[in-house]
Amino acid sequence: MQEYEAKGVPFVGRERTVPAGELNLWAEDFGAPGSPVVLLVMGAQAQGVQWNDGIVRRLVDGDLRVIRYDHRDVGRSSTVDFAAHPYTVADMASDALAVLDTFGVERAHWVGASLGGVIAQRVALTHPHRVLTLTSLSSQPLGTNTVATVQRALTGLPPLVGHLPPPSAALLDTLLSALPAPDASLPEYLATRLPLWRVLHGPVLPFDEEEYRTMETRVYERTRDARSGLNHTRAGTAAEEFTTADLAAVTAPMLVLHGTEDPMFPPAHAQATATAVPGARLVMIEGMGHTLPTALDTRLADEILRHTALDRA
């Protein structure tokens, strides 16, 4: 358990082990048990603790109960032999629902970052009764074939007509060298990861290397296998039953939050998501890249609180 300060009073993150089939997922919640729940769903290869404590504090201050968790194959959750037991984004969406079930939550506000946004969009289609509101953060529309787009970009081919733009050239170059060795020491691990965060952060906002060093040290200390998170990308290559056009059936109020400097999913991805979901509201965060710097904790939390209040009014 970890203690944080909210409204000047210490409160505790209540850790739980979530059974998801044969797997166990790490999760924790904060805030009053009777408050409306917001489920924070992280992106590929990312741990639940990468939802900044500052964002969690502010959401709890806004009278929400906050749940964050580790996907399978990262952090303190179970790792998977992908060759023997391959899984898909649909399975990761089932994991998210298992988290809510374990905490006894029927309906929640869903906030998904990057791949987490795609997972949340999928749940909004398959289990609409479980979604109070939907926030897609630094993400893209469900049904986007990112892997194919990246493969074309790596071979120097332009995107196919009608396809969304690929990650920036600088990010593609950095991704190729950002994979730590399985037995990497902490200094070796940080040496591969910090250059990636510098590119993901974007060129506009000041880059606080110590902030990212602290975050990645926490990630390293919680990691069972530094490479297992790559299975999330492999899961994303599986055929998806939904297309972007299916998002027209989403009924939950939708907020699309995105950085103007996102090198992973350029702003066209956010615009496509907002266009696909009837009534969706698009908010572009000036200068933000594909990270959640603590300098933006208040802005991001305020946008989420404003959006979730639509259901709580």
Residue at token pair 């060795």? 181
Cα separation, 3 vs 1, whole angstroms: 7
Residues marked as catalytic:
114, 262, 290
Coil vs helix vs strand at 65: strand
Show the CA angle centred on residue 171, arms to residues 174 and 55, nearest 5°: 105
Residue at token pair 């469900």? 142
Q: How many helices (H) and strands (E) does the chain have?
A: 10, 9
Q: Classify the C-alpha dihedral 232-131-37-34 as positive or negative.
A: negative
> Encoding tokens for residue 292?
């959640």
Please tell me the number of Cα atoms within 13 Å of 184 on its side-chain side. Answer: 21
> What are the helix (H) ranges across 2-109?
53-61, 89-102
Residue at token pair 């969304």? 164
> Encoding tokens for residue 156?
């120097």
Instruction: Please check whether residue 107 is in contact with residue 129, taking contact to mean a CB–CB distance below 8 angstroms.
Output: yes
The strand pairing partners of 23, in sequence order, are: 20
Q: Classify the C-alpha dihedral 256-313-42-302 as positive or negative.
A: positive
Instruction: Please check whether residue 78 is in contact with residue 23, taking contact to mean a CB–CB distance below 8 angstroms.
Output: yes
Coil vs helix vs strand at 83: coil
